[in-house]
Amino acid sequence: MARVLYYAPRSPYARKVRIAIAEKNLLCELQQTDITNKPPEFLKISPIGKVPVLVDEDGTTLWDSTLIMEYLDETYPQPSFYPSEPSQRLQCRLWEELADTLGDNIVALWLLPSQR
Ligand SMILES: N[C@@H](CCC(=O)N[C@@H](CS)C(=O)NCC(=O)O)C(=O)O
Beta bridge partner(s), residue 46: none
Distance CA 90, CA 34 (A): 34
Q: Counting beta carbons within 10 angstroms of the beta carbon of residue 43, is it exposed (0 to 12), middle (13 to 18) or buried (19 or more)?
A: exposed
pTM value? Answer: 0.92
Domain boundaries, the chain: 4-115
How far away, in angstroms, is 46 Cα from ligand 1 center?
A: 11
How far away, in angstroms, is 32 Cα from ligand 1 center?
A: 14
pLDDT in tens, the chain (116 residues): 999 999 999 899 999 999 999 999 999 999 999 999 999 999 999 999 999 999 999 999 999 999 999 999 999 999 999 999 999 999 999 999 999 999 888 888 876 655 55
* Contact (Cβ atoms closer than 8 angstroms) between residue 11 and residue 27: no
Q: Is the CB of 7 under 6 A from ligand 1?
A: no
Q: Is the CB of 64 under 6 A from ligand 1?
A: yes
Angle at 21 between CA 53 and CA 80, to 5 degrees: 115
- Its CATH class, for the domain covering 4-115, is alpha beta
